[in-house]
Amino acid sequence: MSKDNFLDATLQIINVGLESFASDLKAFGTEVIHVDWRPPAKGDPYLNTILKAVESRGEVIDAANKVAIERMLAAHPVFVDVGSALETIPGFTPKTILHAGPPVTWENMCGPMQGAIIGALMHEGRATDEAQAREAAASGEYTFAPCHHYDAVGPMTGVISASMPVIVVEDKNTGRRVYSNFNGEGKGKKALSFGAFGPDVEEIQVWLRDVFAPFLKQVVYALGGIDLKAIMARALQMGDEVHNRHVAATSLLVREIFTAMSMVKVQPNDLVRIGKFLYYNDFVFLNFSMAACKLMTLAAHDVPNSTLLTAISRNGVETGIRVSGLGDRWFTAPAPQIKGLYFPGFTADDANPDIGDSAITETAGVGGFALAAGIGLVKMVGGTAVDAIAYTKEMGEITLARSPMFLIPVLEFEGTPTGVDIRRTVETGISPVINTGIAHRKAGIGMVGAGITRVPMECFAKALSAFADRPARG
Amino acid sequence: MSKDNFLDATLQIINVGLESFASDLKAFGTEVIHVDWRPPAKGDPYLNTILKAVESRGEVIDAANKVAIERMLAAHPVFVDVGSALETIPGFTPKTILHAGPPVTWENMCGPMQGAIIGALMHEGRATDEAQAREAAASGEYTFAPCHHYDAVGPMTGVISASMPVIVVEDKNTGRRVYSNFNGEGKGKKALSFGAFGPDVEEIQVWLRDVFAPFLKQVVYALGGIDLKAIMARALQMGDEVHNRHVAATSLLVREIFTAMSMVKVQPNDLVRIGKFLYYNDFVFLNFSMAACKLMTLAAHDVPNSTLLTAISRNGVETGIRVSGLGDRWFTAPAPQIKGLYFPGFTADDANPDIGDSAITETAGVGGFALAAGIGLVKMVGGTAVDAIAYTKEMGEITLARSPMFLIPVLEFEGTPTGVDIRRTVETGISPVINTGIAHRKAGIGMVGAGITRVPMECFAKALSAFADRPARG
C-alpha cells in the first residue's frame, strides 16, 4: 500500500466491540462502521441460560424499567433538616448502631468497621478504652444494622450511633426522607468513617454534634431548604463527579450558607472554626451527595419486574447489591481490593477491601459513572483523562438513560449514564466502576489512599438468577 | 485498496500543518508523522521580509523572551487592599476618568464607552442627566486615559472615575501593584461596564462604594491578603477559564471571605444584600482575574529585544497591543466584530465591536487560551467542546510556554499555553483568540450577548515592523 494511495482513499475503520471508541473516532471526522457484537456473558453457558430465561419476559421488564428509571430521574433531593440519629431516623434506638454495606455481625466485621464502632461506643459514653468498647460491642447489647435498612447512608464504615447528628434530605415531589451522617474530617487519615478512634477523633465528633450541626440546622431552617440536585448539577459542570471530588459542590454549599449568615446566631469563636472547617474540608458535600443519591435510587426501588440496580454497598467484607424488582434482598460477593494511589508510607498490603455506602452515587449515575466530568479526580485515584472519559463511556453500555440534568461538558453536555440494567451487566460482562477511598485494614488507623474498583460480577449473576427464579450457581 | 490490506497494514498517517490534530490522533494510539510546514505569513511578501529581518536577531530575541516569560510565570498576584480610585491609584486626580483599550478621545469613543462615562459623571455628581453629562465630557474639563496607563484594567468600557472603589492586587515577589474596579452587575444587561447608566445603575455603584467595598476591605485586612493565583489555578480545574466563566473562582473567593466573618463588622441588613450579591453574581471574580493577569503581563513588560505580547486591549473602536521590547507604544487596528450568542431580542446588528481590557486574561494565557479548561463556557459564547479544546491547542502554536501552575485536566493536566510570541503569530497567521461579552453599540443599553473573536493580524504586523525598524505597511 503506497502512502499516496492511502491518502487518496477515504479513511474507513471497522470497529468491533465497544461503541465508545467508535464515537471517539467519529468526533475527529473519521467514517466508522460500528459492529456491535460480543459473545453474551463472555460465552458463559450458565449465564446464557439465565439471560435467555429473563429474555422471555423482555417486554414486561422493559416497561417496568421505564417506570423505575423515570422515578429515579424525577426524584428531587432537598436538604431540609438536621437532628440526632436517635430523634431523627425512624426506628432508631439508643442501642442501634448503623454500618455500611449489607448485614454483617460484629465478629465478622473488618478492622476499620470495628474501629469506627469502638469510636462510636466511646462517643456514646459506653466505653473509655478500646478493650471496654470491644467487650460492649460483642456483648449483644447493641443492634448492628445496615444504614440502608433505615433509609440512611454513610461513607466508608458508615457508622452512625444514637447521639451523632444526621442530615435529612427530602424528595421535593414525594416528601420521602433519607439520612446521612456528617463528614467531619475531610481527606485526613484520622477519620472515624475510616475506622480511626481516640481523643482527636472524639474531639471532632463532639464539635460536629455541639457546634456545627446546630449551626447548620439554623442555616437550613433560615433558607427553608437547600436544593441538592441543583448543586450537584452545577458541580458536575465544575469538575466534581460528586463521589470523591466535592470541591465545587462544597464551595457552592458554602455560598448558600453565606446567604443565611444574617439570620443565624453563632458565637464568634465557633464561627472561626466553622469558617476553617468549611474552607479546608472539600469533602463536606460527600454525605449530602450520598443522601441525595440514596433518595433517587430509593424512588426507583420496588417496581415489580424491574431489573434496575437500586443499591451498591460494601461492608469491607462483602459487596452487596439490590435490584428494584427483587425487594430488599442483598446479592453479595466478597468485596474486591481497590487499584489506587496510596498516601506516603502505605501500600496495597495495608488496604482493606472495598467498603462504604458511597457507591450509592454510582448507582444514581454519578461518581465513577461521571468520571468524565471529574477528570481532576485522577490525581487522587490514579489514571489519565482518557481513562476517566473511557469509564463514563463504558458505563453508557450498561445503563438505561442519560440524565437530563447531570450533564458532562467534555462529552458535549451529554447526560451522565444513569440506571444500571443488571441484564446488560451480565450480558456485556461490564461491571459498574466505583471510585472510592481506601481504609487501613486494621482498626484505629484511618485512610490510606483512594482508587478505582468494580462491583463483583457474581452479585449480578446471583441477582439475575433470582430474577429468573433459578438457583444461584455453585 | 482492499479493506483486508488496510487492516493488516500498520496504520500510518501523515499530518501536514497543525500539530494539535496530530496530537489528537496520537492519543488514540495511531502512529503519526508530523510535517510542520505552512507557507510563512501565508506567503505574504511584506511580512516575510519583516520576519527575515527579525530572524537575523533570533538568538538575542530568544534570550530576551526567556527572561520575559519567566517573569510572567513567576509573578504571584495577591489581593491586598480596597480603596477609592482617587486615593489608591497613583497619579489619579478628581478629573481623571480611565477607560478600556488604547487611547481614544471623547468624540471618537463608541456608544457604550460614552454611556459608561455618562454614568460615571452622574455618579461623581457632575451631571444629573445625559445631556449635562455629555456637555461635561466634551468640555475638556476631564482627562480621559487608558486604564493601562495607570497599571489598571477594567472590563468592557473599563470606566473608572475618582470616587469608584478599586481592588489592589500586589505581586508577592516584587511588591508591584495593579488595580481594577468592581464587578457590580453580574451577567445582567443594565451594567455600567457595558455602557448602561441611570438610577438602577447608580444605585448599584453607590452600594458598591458605601457597603460592599468597605466590607471587602475589612475582609482582606482580616485575612492579610487573598492569593489570587491559587484561586485561579484551582478554578481552572473546576471548569472556569477565568475570563468569562468565574463560577468556581467566585465560589472559592466566597469560601475565603467566609473565613473572615468572625473578624468583620457588618450591619445585618447589609449582610443580607452582600450574601445575595455573592450568591447571584458569578462574575465577582472577573475583575480580580483581570488584575492578576495585568500583574503577570506587566512583570514581563519592558524586556529589551523581547517579542512577547504584554497587552491586548480594545476600546470598542480599535484593538491595541503592546509588546515587551517595544515600550509603551500601542499597535492598533480597527476592533473586530464578535461571533457569538445574543440575549433574546438582540442580534449582531446591535453589537458594538470588541471592547474591554479583559483580553489581558488571554495575554496571560487564560481566557480563550484556556477554553479547554472552561468548556462550560461554550453554552454562553457558542461552539462545542471539541471547538473549545481546539482553541487551546491552536494557541499552543503561538505561545512560548505552558504554565506550570494553570493546568488543564482534559489535556492530561498540560499547562495553559502562555505568552504569545508576536513572531509566531505573524509566521503562522494564527491570531490570539478572545472570548468576551458583547455590549450594545448605543450608549445606555448594556450587555446583549457574548462570543468569540480574534486580535486583528494588523496589530501584529505593525508591531513586528516596528521591531524590525521597518515602516509599517500601507
Q: How far is B99 from chain A (nearest CA, A)?
A: 32
Distance between CA B236 and CA A238 in Å, rounded? Answer: 9
Mutate which of B258, B264, B272 to disrupt the A interface (most A C-beta within 10 Å)? B258
Residue B16, pLDDT > 60, answer no
Q: How far is B151 from chain A (nearest CA, A)?
A: 32
Amino acid B472: pLDDT: 81
Amino acid B187: pLDDT: 53
DSSP single-letter state for residue A155: S
Residue whose C-alpha is closest to residue B330's, from B456, B430, B454: B456
Residue A6, pLDDT > 80, answer no
Distance between CA B274 and CA B289 in Å, rounded? Answer: 20
Q: Is B337 helix (H, G, I), strand (E, B) or coil?
A: coil
Amino acid B188: pLDDT: 59
Strands A31-35 and A12-16: parallel
Residue B28, pLDDT > 60, answer no
Please write the tens of the pLDDT for every residue from A442-466.
Answer: 999 999 999 999 999 999 999 999 9
Distance between CA A267 and CA A260 in Å, rounded? Answer: 15
Cβ separation B259–A275 shorter than 8 A = yes
Please write the tens of the pLDDT for every residue from A152-164.
Answer: 999 999 999 999 9
**Angle of helix A247-259 versus helix A213-223 axis, rounded to 10:** 70
Backbone angles phi, psi at B15, to 5 degrees: -110, 120
What does the CA dihedral A318, A322, A328, A332 come to, rounded to 10 degrees?
-30
Please write the tens of the pLDDT for every residue from B123-135.
Answer: 999 999 999 999 9
Sheet containing strand A96-99, strands side by side:
A143-146, A96-99, A160-161
Report domain B77-290's class: alpha beta
Please write the tens of the pLDDT for every residue from A106-122.
Answer: 999 999 999 999 999 99
Planar angle of CA A249, A251, A254, nearest 5 degrees: 110
Q: Are A278 and A255 in contact (CB under 8 A)?
A: no
Considering only alpha carbons, which residue of chain A is nearest residue B407? A376
Count Cα neighbours of B35 within 13 Å in the Cβ-side half-sphere. 7
Chain B residues with CB under 8 Å of A386 CB are 27, 412
Q: How far is B12 from chain A (nearest CA, A)?
A: 8
Name the residue facing B238 among A9, A238, A386 (closest C-beta).
A238
Q: How far is A279 from chain B (nearest CA, A)?
A: 6
Considering only alpha carbons, which residue of chain A is nearest residue B23? A28
Fold assignment, A76-290: Enterococcus faecalis V583 fold (3.90.1710)
The answer for B359, left when phi > 0, alpha when psi is -120 to 50, beta otherwise, is alpha
Q: Are B218 and B80 in contact (CB under 8 A)?
A: no
Cβ separation B248–A238 shorter than 8 A = yes
Considering only alpha carbons, which residue of chain A is nearest residue B275? A259
**Percentage of the residues of chain A whose pLDDT score is greater than 70:** 91
Residue A21, pLDDT > 90, answer no
Cβ separation A239–B248 shorter than 8 A = yes
Q: Are B234 and B248 in contact (CB under 8 A)?
A: yes
Cβ separation B254–A257 shorter than 8 A = no
Distance between CA B452 and CA B459 in Å, rounded? Answer: 18
Helix then strand then coil, % of chain A, to nearest 5: 45, 20, 35
Count Cα neighbours of B365 within 13 Å in the Cβ-side half-sphere. 33
Chain B residues with CB under 8 Å of A16 CB are none
Cβ separation A14–B24 shorter than 8 A = no
Question: Which three cell numbers, joined as nine digits, stand for A111?
Answer: 478492622
**Which residues, 6+ apart, have CB-to-CB distance to B51 below 8 Å?**
B40, B41, B423, B426, B427, B464
Q: Which residues pair with B389 in a beta bridge?
A: none
Please write the tens of the pLDDT for every residue from A386-421.
Answer: 999 999 999 999 999 999 999 999 999 999 999 999
Question: Which three cell numbers, joined as nine digits, stand for A176?
Answer: 420521602
Please write the tens of the pLDDT for every residue from A164-217.
Answer: 999 999 999 999 999 999 988 655 568 999 999 999 999 999 999 999 999 999
Chain A residues with CB under 8 Å of B239 CB are 237-239, 248, 409
- CA distance readout (Å), B342 to A446, B350, B451: 53, 9, 8
The predicted model gives B449-457 an average pLDDT of 97
The predicted model gives B160-173 an average pLDDT of 97
Chain B residues with CB under 8 Å of A260 CB are 275
The predicted model gives B56-70 an average pLDDT of 97
Q: What is the DSSP string of A252-306?
A: HHHHHHHHTTTT----HHHHHHHHHHHHH-TTTTHHHHHHHHHHHHHHT---TT-
What does the CA dihedral A181, A183, A185, A191 come to, rounded to 10 degrees?
40
Question: Which three cell numbers, joined as nine digits, stand for A129?
Answer: 478504652
For residue A346, how many other CB atoms are within 10 A of its CB?
17
Amino acid B176: pLDDT: 98
**Which residues, 6+ apart, have CB-to-CB distance to B55 below 8 Å?**
none
Q: How far is B434 from chain A (nearest CA, A)?
A: 20
Amino acid B235: pLDDT: 98
Name the residue facing B14 among A7, A251, A271 (closest C-beta).
A7
Chain A residues with CB under 8 Å of B272 CB are 262
Domain B45-73+301-467 has CATH 3.90.1700.10: yes
When pLDDT is cut at 50, 70 and 90, the band that residue B33 belongs to is low
**Which residues, 6+ apart, have CB-to-CB distance to B159 below 8 Å?**
B97, B98, B99, B100, B113, B116, B117, B119, B120, B192, B193
Cβ separation A259–B275 shorter than 8 A = yes
Residue B27, pLDDT > 60, answer no
Considering only alpha carbons, which residue of chain A is nearest residue B235? A238
Name the residue facing B238 among A248, A259, A271 (closest C-beta).
A248
Q: How far is A18 from chain B (nearest CA, A)?
A: 14
Cβ separation B27–A386 shorter than 8 A = yes
The predicted model gives B12-24 an average pLDDT of 48
Supply the mean pLDDT for chain B: 92
Chain B residues with CB under 8 Å of A237 CB are 239, 376
With b for 16 or more beta-carbon neighbours within 10 A and e for fewer, the B3-21 pattern comes to eeebeeeeeebebeebbbb
Residue B425, pLDDT > 90, answer yes
Q: How far is A59 from chain B (nearest CA, A)?
A: 37
Q: How far is B275 from chain A (nearest CA, A)?
A: 4
Question: Which three cell numbers, joined as nine digits, stand for B153?
Answer: 484594567
Distance between CA A73 and CA A296 in Å, rounded? Answer: 7
Considering only alpha carbons, which residue of chain A is nearest residue B21? A28
**What ipTM score was computed for the predicted complex, to two decimals?**
0.91
Superfamily in which the A45-73+302-467 domain is placed by CATH: v583 domain like (3.90.1700.10)
Amino acid A402: pLDDT: 98
Amino acid A454: pLDDT: 98
Q: What is the DSSP string of B18-63?
A: -HHHHHHHHHTT-EEEEE----GGGG-HHHHHHHHHHHTTHHHHHH
Count Cα neighbours of A93 within 13 Å in the Cβ-side half-sphere. 7
Distance between CA A217 and CA A228 in Å, rounded? Answer: 15
Name the residue facing B258 among A6, A254, A386 (closest C-beta).
A254
Backbone angles phi, psi at A401, to 5 degrees: -150, 165
Residue A99, pLDDT > 90, answer yes
Distance between CA B73 and CA B234 in Å, rounded? Answer: 16
Question: Which three cell numbers, joined as nine digits, stand for B261?
Answer: 466573618
Residue ranges covered by each domain of chain B = 3-37, 45-73+301-467, 77-290
Cβ separation A234–B247 shorter than 8 A = yes
Residue B29, pLDDT > 80, answer no
The predicted model gives B437-466 an average pLDDT of 96
- Write the single-letter amino acid at B414: E
Q: How far is B278 from chain A (nearest CA, A)?
A: 7
When pLDDT is cut at 50, 70 and 90, the band that residue A36 belongs to is low
Chain A residues with CB under 8 Å of B5 CB are 1
What does the CA dihedral A290, A301, A454, A355 come to, rounded to 10 degrees?
50
Q: Are B166 and B88 in contact (CB under 8 A)?
A: yes
Cβ separation B255–A271 shorter than 8 A = no
The model's pTM is 0.92
With b for 16 or more beta-carbon neighbours within 10 A and e for fewer, the A419-448 pattern comes to bbbbbebbbbbbbbbbbbbbbbbebbbbbb
**Angle of helix A58-74 versus helix A45-55 axis, rounded to 10:** 80
HEC profile for A371-438? HHHCHHHHHHHCCCHHHHHHHHHHHCCCEEEEEEEEEEHHHCCEEEEEEEEHHHHHHHCCCCEEEEEE
Residue for grid cell 450509592: A360
Sheet containing strand B355-356, strands side by side:
B331-334, B318-323, B309-315, B355-356
When pLDDT is cut at 50, 70 and 90, the band that residue B189 belongs to is low
When pLDDT is cut at 50, 70 and 90, the band that residue A435 belongs to is very high
Name the residue facing B256 among A5, A269, A279 (closest C-beta).
A279
